[in-house]
Structure 1
Amino acid sequence: MKKTIGIIGGMGPLATVKLFEKIVLNTRADSDQDHPRTIIDSNTRIPDRTRNILSDGENPTNELIESARCLERAGADFLTMPCNTAHYFMEEVLKEVELPFIDMIKETVNTVKKEFGSSKVGIFSTDGTISSGVYTKVLQKEGIEYVLPSPQSQKAIMELIYNIKKGQYDNDLTRFFTAIDELHSQGVQTIILGCTELSVAADMYKFPDSVNYVDALVVLAREAIIGAGCDINS
């Protein structure tokens, strides 16, 4: 029996749209009925996750719980969430619902390990994701060596992320591409796109092919399709 996907969204809205799009595009289907039923709560009231982790920004946990409960009431069989940084808060959220949760962080690291072994990886994400250690802790547990961008490169990454959140899509990617070259020069062969706005950027712009990219949003979409009992496009 097929299951219904629940998406805790709104962080940001376009990243939420992109997850649903990737679920549709990655599903092998001959008709509407072959696709998974999907319930989306694009809760744009969820406070900024990075601001809470780094400073005195409002805690997003209560709104995340509200979205999880909303999806549970609506009939979702399991939860997904297209926001890497927000995974930092999910332990508390999941105490308030009875639904299982697909952990995008763990599944992304599993994909890295499966496809690229223990080769050195880079992490492109928000300051909040880096500070919280949601990726680095899992990579360390799996014995995968990682490299973080320099402060200057991290600033360029954050600028691109928040420009996309603002709806600014005509961006000069020179400094962002320099950040890629910087990690490549340190022996990085694979970069995790660990922010869903970077997943949006990967669809909008042509990234240099000097390294491999593991897009956390694509990983989540494919795991959601499997979880719903549907088939993945090869």
Structure 2
Amino acid sequence: MNKVIGILGGMGPLATVDMFNKIVTLTEATRDQDHIHLIIDNYPGIPNRLDFLLGDGESPEKAMVESALKLQSMGADAIIMPCNTAHYFYDAIKKHLRIDFINMIEETAKEIKKESTRCKKIGLLATRGTYNTGVYDKTFASYDMEVIKPDEEGRQAIADLILAIKVGQDTFDLTSIYRVIAQLKKKNAEILVLGCTELPIAFEKFNINEKYIDPTRILACSAIRYAERKVRESSN
């Protein structure tokens, strides 16, 4: 019996679309029936994760649990969540589930170590919530990797880039972004990780010329393998 993947989405909607697109395009398929059965709950009403983590908003935990349980009741065998900041609530959501919940940050750490066993320092581009909660720090430390973060000015530049995607901005001055990347490299970051699901979209949309690791792509590949499908060879 084919396994069903549930996507706990809406954080934000475009990132959910990006995840759906990646799963479809990365699945080795020659006909419709070769693709994965996906159930998507695009739930933009989930309270803002960043506001809550910065002490100025409603907790999104209850809404995320409701979404996860809905996906479980609809027949999902496993859930994925295309939002880095939301992984702060991963354990709180998982304890309510009888099904698997694939952790995007864990999958990213495993993939980096598989591809580059000597990697010790990663440069993280992310939201303030992801920086402040240390969700990457804790997971990556268990794989003997240190997370390098931008200074306050750099974090604001990344926040502005993320917002540009959320509001549908068509242009963006990349000067500050290249400055952040240079800063991380100066701190000996060996690999750049796009730790916000809007950032891969931004890098593609604004043609940011820099090599990076895309956790959403890694999560898509993990979901494909979980569903016992093959990832396209050229996409590995």
TM-score grouping bracket, smaller chain normalisation: over 0.9
Alignment match, 2:171? 170
Q: Would you say the 8 A contact 1:15–1:199 is kept in 2? A: no
Shift of 1:59: 0.2
Q: Partner of 1:122 in structure 2?
A: 123
Distance 1:50 1:153 in 2: 17
Quick one: distance in 1 between partners of 2:55 and 2:72? 31
Distance across 1 between alignment mates of 2:141 and 2:120: 13
Cα distance in 2, alignment partners of residues 96 and 141 from structure 1: 25
* Structure 2 letter corresponding to 1:20: F
Identical-residue share of aligned pairs (%): 43
> Which one-letter code corresponds to 1:228 in the other structure?
A
Matched-pair contact (CA < 8 Å) for 2:136–2:147: no
| Residue matched to 2:221 | 222
Which structure 2 residues correspond to residues 50-129 of structure 1 after superposition, within 5 A? 50-117=50-117, 118-129=119-130
Q: Identify the residue that residue 35 of structure 2 maps to in structure 1.
A: 35
1:85-142 residue CA offsets vs partner (Å, 9 max, x unmatched)? 0011121112222111010010011111111222321011110011111101111121
Residue range with higher mean Cα deviation, 18-27 or 199-208: 199-208
Match of 2:2 in 1: 2
Alignment partner, residue 181 of structure 2: 180
Alpha-carbon distance in structure 2 between the residues aligned to 1:169 and 1:133: 31
SS in structure 2 opposite 1:213?
coil
Local SS of the residue matching 1:55: coil
CA contact (8 A) 1:177 1:208 kept: no
1:220 maps to amino acid: L
Q: TM-score normalised to the size of structure 1?
A: 0.95
CA deviation profile, 1:24-60 (whole Å, cap 9, x unmatched): 1110101001110101000011011111111131100
Paired amino acid for 2:31 = S
Distance between the aligned counterparts of 1:166 and 1:205, measured in 2?
Answer: 14
- The separation in 2 between residues aligned to 1:116 and 1:153, in whole angstroms, is 26
* Secondary structure of 1:56 counterpart: coil
Deviations 1:114-173 (A, max 9, x none): 112223210111100111111011111211123111111111001111221122232222
1:185-224 matched pairs, under 5 angstroms: 185-209=186-210, 212-224=211-223
Residue aligned with 1:214, SS: coil
Deviates more, 1:113-122 or 1:73-82: 113-122
Q: Which consecutive residues of structure 2, in runs of 5 or more, have no partner in the other structure?
A: none
CA distance in 2, matches of 1:207, 1:15: 18
> CA RMSD of the aligned region, Å?
1.2
2:159 and 2:15 map into 1 onto residues whose CA distance is: 15
Q: CA deviation at 1:202?
A: 2.4
SS in 2 for 1:128: helix
Q: What secondary structure does 2:111 align onto?
A: helix
Q: d(CA) in 2 for partners of 1:190 and 1:207?
A: 15
Task: Using structure 2 for the length normalisation, give the TM-score.
Answer: 0.94
Unaligned runs of 5+ in 1: none
Q: Distance in 1 between matches of 2:140 and 2:170?
A: 31
Taking the aligned partners of 1:135 and 1:156, their CA distance within structure 2 comes to 20
SS of structure 1 residue aligned to 2:124? strand
Equivalent in the alignment of 2:157:
156
1:123 touches 1:194 (CA, 8 Å); kept in 2?
A: yes
- What is the number of equivalent residue pairs in this alignment? 232
2:16 alignment partner in structure 1? 16
Stretches of 4+ aligned residues off by more than 3 angstroms? none
Q: What is the rounded CA distance, in whole Å, between the counterparts of 2:204 and 2:5 in structure 1?
A: 23
